[in-house]
């Protein structure tokens, strides 16, 4: 998968980690013609990243693993690892979408006049968390209803 760019200089590689009969982890990347050996998986990952960097003249921090094959004691865990990583990536994207939508609900409902106490239970959030999500954001058209300073300002304005 060499040359598959994620960012401006990111390079994606397929690698394979195999534990040999002596217990040593061997990391291989056919695309970069790179091989490394280490006592641990972490060491093999670090070593293969460095070997790829040297073989293909790219910065170590720009080396990304597109696919990681793994084999030990006759067990090939590549497909299971790949599926797990894909699901975790999907979950991270869904979590981000959930955070974005939660902020949007809090802001739009507040802008429409809902109090913080009203919005929190709808989302299963405390009033304090609603306040955190609002942060310094305030609707442009009117003060947030239900907050003590807003009520005091409204009362002061109506008495004049």
- Helix/strand number for the chain, H first, E second: 5, 5
Mean pLDDT of the chain: 85
Of 27, 31, 26, 28, the residue nearest 12 (C-alpha): 31
Kind of pairing between the strands at 34-38 and 63-72: unpaired
- The residue ranges of every structural domain in the chain are 11-76, 91-147
Secondary structure (DSSP) of 10-61? -EEEEEEEEE-TTS-EEEEETTTTEEEEESSHHHHHHHHHHHHHHHHT--GG
Q: Is the predicted pLDDT of residue 3 greater than 50, yes or no?
A: no
Residue written as token pair 């094959």: 69
Q: Which CATH number fits domain 11-76: 2.60.40.10, 3.30.160.250, 3.30.70.890, 6.10.140.120?
A: 3.30.160.250
Q: Is the predicted pLDDT of residue 126 greater than 70, yes or no?
A: yes
pTM equals: 0.63
Angstrom CA distances, 66 to 32, 118, 127, stand at 13, 45, 42
The mean pLDDT of 105-125, rounded to a whole number, is 92
Q: Give CA–CA dist 123/113, Å, rounded.
A: 16
Under the banding of pLDDT at 50, 70 and 90, the label for residue 7 is: very low
Under the banding of pLDDT at 50, 70 and 90, the label for residue 38 is: very high
Q: Classify 151 as helix, strand or coil.
A: helix
In the prediction, which pLDDT does 5 show? 42
Rounded to 5°, angle at Cα 159 from 114 and 148: 35
In the prediction, which pLDDT does 18 show? 97
Under the banding of pLDDT at 50, 70 and 90, the label for residue 160 is: low
């Amino acid at each position: 998968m060499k040359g598959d760019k994620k960012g401006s200089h990111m390079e994606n590689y397929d690698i394979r980690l195999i534990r040999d009969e002596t217990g040593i982890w061997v990391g291989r990347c056919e695309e970069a013609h790179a091989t490394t050996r280490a006592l641990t998986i972490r060491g093999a990952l670090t070593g293969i990243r460095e070997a790829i960097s040297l073989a293909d003249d790219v910065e170590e921090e720009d080396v990304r693993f597109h696919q990681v094959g793994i084999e030990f004691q006759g067990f090939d865990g590549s497909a299971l690892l790949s599926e797990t990583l894909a699901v975790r990536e999907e979950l991270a994207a869904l979590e981000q979408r959930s955070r974005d939508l939660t902020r949007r609900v809090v802001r739009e409902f507040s802008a429409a006049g809902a109090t913080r106490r009203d919005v929190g239970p709808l989302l299963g959030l405390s009033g304090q968390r609603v306040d955190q999500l609002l942060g310094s954001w305030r609707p442009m058209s009117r003060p947030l209803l239900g907050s003590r300073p807003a009520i005091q300002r409204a009362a002061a304005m109506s008495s004049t």
